[in-house]
Every structure is written in structure tokens, then in C-alpha cells.
Structure 1
């Protein structure tokens, strides 16, 4: 027995499981040898294994900057400061350098100045002072004027996140500021078009895309958005024409490949989506939660189930709130904002009353209703007005209030428009905007079905969707005269 045990022990295989620290050290060694491509490869792997480690992320950002990938570097540096470690103030100095290289001198000045304020005796203090002097010389504006400018690139990233969460009015506000400052910052124009589209203002959205394509012909993001808009509006022939054009494009830039991959997924072209996203996965492209989300989906719907499930683990590491949204979990069912507590809380903290009211309606139909209503985050929310507090009481106990009418009308929409995605959210936001105006004017909501029908009709018309007043009247049991009267009132309230 002893001999057999020794034989087994001698033949035992010790498995080697590399850690983030292992690849980090390899990356640092490669960096010191000036082998930047290997450094990037090892540090990317280290960050995949330990996505919450700020030092790994920071070192990767430094390497990316030295390779000239300034935008990817900036994305990581902002992620560190916003999500991982706000105390890692050196990131502001690195951002300043990157923005200077990109030609965004106002942003560079902002971060260099901020770094010196936060760590006046830091390791990069002298370098930051030299950069400030150079920036003041390069710019026609004074240093003080530069310092007062907002970091527009950060605003754009923030706006994109708000857009993805259905936080539309605030996203529009930020994106409008960005395009006002940088008229040729096409990415911001494209996202602004998406925001207006989600809000139901289709003509305005398409006018923005047309302007982008006129001034920047062949803009891939604008073409992709055109295709997506057409599909959502049921213009399938036109969407197919654009899709055929997109299939012929072979972009070299990683950002363009990413956009193409997501657009193909949205169009149900999962083979093409998987091709581009898997190509990026094999490269050193910076992977975020959105990337892994669509990679998992495209993998699943092309039969790569095992790979999809492995990738989904990364989705949950980066975005735990996505649990339950797996492509194999009720694959034909979309889970809307009402199932996302994080998104509801974000809307509850909006600066816009209609968005807060919308969030409370989402709460009323959410499977996480009790979690939201009993949370400290709700109790500590300083933005809630008397109107919203009445709404909370209505949801909790059915206590009668002015908001009962708003709830009943929103419930009429919910019979046909659920789950609530980004497009559907526009209908509810429109209704709560109308409701706020009606409350301000002291108007009674006696004929709830008429108000619901009128709002739905106006929403369809703003989205350039073919629908007649007679059709809506029939759906809500209204006369032609009644629907016409209320449509006129809704249109006037929205002007």
C-alpha cells in the first residue's frame, strides 16, 4: 500500500493557474524591455483576470498611450477614476498628456491643473507644470479660460452610459453641449441622434445623421444608426439596402469593427456579428461590459454555446445587474428596464421630474418592487418632490393621490408596450411630461382613455410610424371627435 501511494504521489500533476499578478509582472518586464506589444498583451490578460485592480489598469493605460492608442488609454483612465480608485490621482496627469496628443488642449489643461491641485508635490508635478506652460502657449485662450472648460470627452462617455441606461433627457443635455463645443466630433452627433430617436423625435434624429453623412461621407456610425432606425420603424427594404452596404465594409479601426459587430447583432445577423466581435476578442482591443454582452449573444445564436457561457461570466463580473439577461434564459423574451433595479435607481435620481415619475411607474410593475421601496437609497433621495412622494405612497399602500390618474394611464400603455426597452421608454416619458404640464395647469384627467390614446398617437407620429387617429380611437373605445380634440391638446402641451 505504501509503495502504491508513493508511486501515485510521484506521478501527481501539479496544475499551473496563472493569476493577474503573474501576467502583470510579465507585462512590467516587457515594458522595461521596451517591448510594448508584449507588454500590452500581458497587461490585457492581467486585467481580464483581475478587472478591479487599478494598478494593472493604469499600467495598461500607460502602455496604450505609448503605442499611440490615446482614446483607449483615456477610456481606462476614466474608468479607474470613476469606478476603481478615485485616489489614484496620477491618472489625471496621464489624461492630460493623452488629451494634449489628441489636440484637446482644454481637456489637457483641466486634468494637468487638477493633478497639481490634488498632489502638488507628486512625482509628476514638474512635468505637469511644464505641460501647463506649453498648453497656455499653444492655445489662443488664457490658462484660466482653459481651466474653466468642462472635460467634454468625459461628458461624452458619461452621456453614452446614460443613453445605454435609458436616461435620455440628461444624455441629450450632455451631448448637445459636446457637439456645441466640437461641431466635428461625429461620435457625439451620432449618439445625440440615437438619444432623439429613443425619445421618439425621429425626424430630428434623422436630420442629425443626414448632416453627419453630408459633412463626413461614409461615416460608419451614422450608416449603422440609419440601418437600426429603419428596422425599428419597419422600413425593412431600406434597412436591408444599408445592411448590404455595411456587409461590404472591412474596417481597420477597432472602434469601427466594434460598432459593426453590435449593429449586425441588432439586425439579427449573428454570424457577421460573431465574426467581428470574435476578431476583436482575439486582439488586444479593450473589452468592456457592452463588448462581452454582445459577444456572448452572438456566440450563443451561432451555436457557440460553451464559449457564450464562458464570456457571460465576464459580463457578470463587470455588470452584476445583468444576471437573468443571459441569451439562453428565455431567449425569446426581452427583460426591460422594469427588471433592472440599478437603472430604476438611476432614473429616480434624475434632474428631470418626468424621468423620476417614469422610474416610479417602473417600480410599480417591477419584480424588484419591494427591494426598491425599502432601500436606503430611496429614503435618502433629496430630489424627490411632494408629487413623487405621493406616488411612492400610492405604490406602497394604494393611498389615493394626484398620481393615481398618471399610474392608470401608464398601465393602459403597459398592456401593449412591455417589457419597456429604450424605444418604449419614449412613450412613457412623453406621457409623464404631459402629466407634469397638466398638474402645473390644474387640468383634470377625467377621460383617461382619451389622454392615453392621444399621447400614443402623437408618439407614433413623432416616430414617423403610419397610424391613423381612427385606428387609435378604435383601440381605446373613443369617437373620432374625441381623439382629435385630445391630440390637439397633447400637441399644444408638448410644444
Structure 2
């Protein structure tokens, strides 16, 4: 019995053994703790160990160079920075700026000048460009001569293409961004920044498997790539993978970003993940580090303060935003809302989005004042455009039908590409594809179209489109055409446009349970009457019935159904899927 008890005790003790993973992250965390306690000797030791574990990680090397500089060991710091540029990451141009600072601290002003000129040639608009130019002025004073300036250097072609792709992303042109970035990473497979932006392009368009594959490629080459880890955490949250999300969040919370760009990425990611105290700390830190903070940064701090129940502080920062950006509606909206939310219980107070724009609900409530159902600020909003892509990839039948119909009002090159791609999806409903064909026809997209219909890959010429239209839609299109023909010459373009809007909204609301069309002219007359009434024109149901040769009772019956479409708020009708 004693032997059994001893064996059990031994097994229990063995089970209690916890194996420590002495990897680079472990030593990095120890180094950061030592820095917080001003134990530079220990921090140096741990940063060296982190570099030994991951010698190809430039972040660890930069941290090592930084702590050596803090300790006054400037030459050693520059040796590490040269190693980064020669062996680890030749494109990490900020190393030239750090080397200039070290050289200046050693009173080697001419060498510092050389480093600064080199930095500005490579990064004329870089993070430290302004500081580098000021430092050149200071060095020129010390050397007793005119300040040196770098020679103009043409921007590298791959960098120009990457900036072009980023501008596409910011404008919501996700397919153009994807095309540009895919070509770029094929030519430069180790270009991690382009890979990370390609991940975002896939994510915005709902291509989650491709986004995950791209993140995997980045992390295979660079396991500590902050942008990729942040993107992975967001995907894990979206996929409901709580365990993986939790592991990533705990790792990211310990991260001490070296660059402002990394700090922004980490702060916004923490906000998206709902880790608002961490986001608040990082945004406040950015506010201290930025020389001339943009209004958007004060907004981020205000949102983080609000989401952590610091309401008075949020109010203070939104007032700053209002002073810095007086033409913006955003700070005024939130300051007004603060008065409303003041009466709410803590459980009722909403969690705010960090985006520097009005909330979607507020934007959509303003649409009632518009004659176009999708004004330019909505059409061009990247987040809203992204919601359309998501819905078309992941929504149910009715949601996808709504998106396809809304695409008619956006009608740009990207919409044509999306719809043409949708036609080739073998797993999509043929009725949805036929609606896509109808929208392509309406927006004037070039024919022929390729589509998978009834399980066959077919090519559809312009003269064949009518055969492929949904049967129910063909009849209802005749109603609209009849109405527009009878209105022609008597109404202006705004009235004609509203007729199309009301008709499209009516079809969207009632599909697939549309009323029977016994006589096209009856519905056409009702549509003309509703448009006239909307604009305060003098027109009776009796007169419009005579014009279309139908009874006034028929017109009245159809008018009641059409007016319901006018009363339904557009935000509920068109954008109900955004939360998906």
C-alpha cells in the first residue's frame, strides 16, 4: 500500500511539471519587464538571447541595438544595425537613421550626415524624414557649412506598385488591389508587406480561405510578423475559434511595438478584438509619440476611452477633434450622443467602432434626403463595399439577391468583375445568376458573358440575354419600360430616376412572392402616379388611369402596394446584412 501511495504521489508530482518554452518571445518578454524596471543590464542580456533564438528576426536585432544605444554603447549598437542591413533585412532603411543618431552621439558628425542622406534617399517620405532633415540642419551648423540634401531618386517600381495597391484598398477597390498585389508577390515572394495587404484584400472580399493561406505563407517565413499575427487573430475571432484567438491575444498583449506603424496596427487590432483597455493604452502612447497627431488619432483615443467607460475623457478628446476638424460631422455627432447615453445604464451603453466616420446607421438615416439610393459617400465607403462582398460570399439566398440588386446602383468596373465572377460559381443558385445577368445588362457591361447555368458552362451573347432573364423579371421589366415610355417628354430625369428606384425597391421587397401581373399598363399607371405624388405634381388616379387605358380602381389597388415600398426605410431594406 505504501509503495502504491508513493507511486501515485510521484505520478502526481510528475504531472505538475510545467515545461517552459524558452523561445525568442520568452526572452523578449523578460527584456521588456527589465526595461520597465530600468534594469538595462538584464534587458541587454535577454535581448541578446532573443537574437540568438531568432537571428533572422530584425525586430529582435533592432531592440538589441536600441538598448545598446540607451546604455551609451553606440559603436556596438551600430555594429548590430549594420548586421541587419547586410544580412537580415536590407530594406529596413530606418537603421540608417538610428546609425546617424549613434554617430552624432559619438561626435562623428560627417558620418552621421552620410547616414542621414542615405536614409532620406531611400525613404524621402519615411517615418523619420522630418526628424532627419532637422538633424541635417543641426549637423550643418556644427560643421559650419550649408546643410546637405539628398539627390532626388526615382521611386522603385515595386514600391510604386505597392502604394498603388494600398490606395485601391483605401478606396474600396478590392479586386484591383487583389490583382496588383497577386502579381507583386509572384515577382517578390519575400515582400511581406504586400502579402499582408493581400490578406486584407481577401478578407474584405470574404475570401477567408485565401486570406488564411496568405497569412500562413508570411508566418512561415517570419513567425513574428506583427501584421500577420494581428490579421490571424481577427480571422480566428471571425471563425469563432476562441482558443486560438485567446492564445494570439495573450501573445499580442505582451508585444512592445518598436515602430509607430506597428503600434497603430496593434492598437486597431486590439480594438477590433474588443480588447479596449489595451487599445486605450496604445492609442494614448501614440498620442504622446506623434509630433502632429491627426484628428483621427484623437478620435481613436476618444472611442477607446468611451469603450473603457472613461466618458469624461472621451468628451474631452472629441472636443479636440471638433477643433482640429471643424468641417467634420463626426465629433459633433458623438458629443451629442454622449448627452443621450448619459442617461443609460452601463449595460445599455453601446460599444463604439473605431472607424473615423459616422456610424453606418446614421449614414443610412440620411439617405432619405437623397434622390439616389446610394450617394457617392456610400458607394465609395470601403467598409460598406466590403459588406457587399461578404454578403455575396456568405449570405443566404435573399441577402445575395439584395446585394445583386444594389450593385445596379453602384455600377462601376469592380461591380462588373464581381458579377461576372459570380456567374461562374457552380455552387450558386441559377436564379441568382440570372438576376446577375439582368444587372450586368442594366449597367451596360460588355458582352458576351460566361456563366455556369443548369450545370453547363455557356457563353451568352447580347441578343441571347432576354432568354436567360428570370421569367418573373421579364414581365416586371415590361412594366417599368411601359411607365418610362408614357412619362417620356412630360417628366424630367429626376422623376424618371425615381420611377426606377421605387420599382426596384418594390420588386426587392416582394420577391419571390410578387403579385400577378394581369395587365402591364395597370402597374405602369400606378407607378407614374406614385412618382407624381412624391414630387407634388398635380395628377389624379382617374387621369393617369385614362392615360394608360385602365380602370381607376386597378390603379388605386396597385398604388397602395407601391406606396408601402416608399415608406420602408432604405437602411433596413438594403443594408440589413452588414453585421454579418
The normalised TM-score by structure 2 is 0.39
Larger Rg: 2
The normalised TM-score by structure 1 is 0.44
Higher relative contact order (CA 8 A, sep 6+): 1
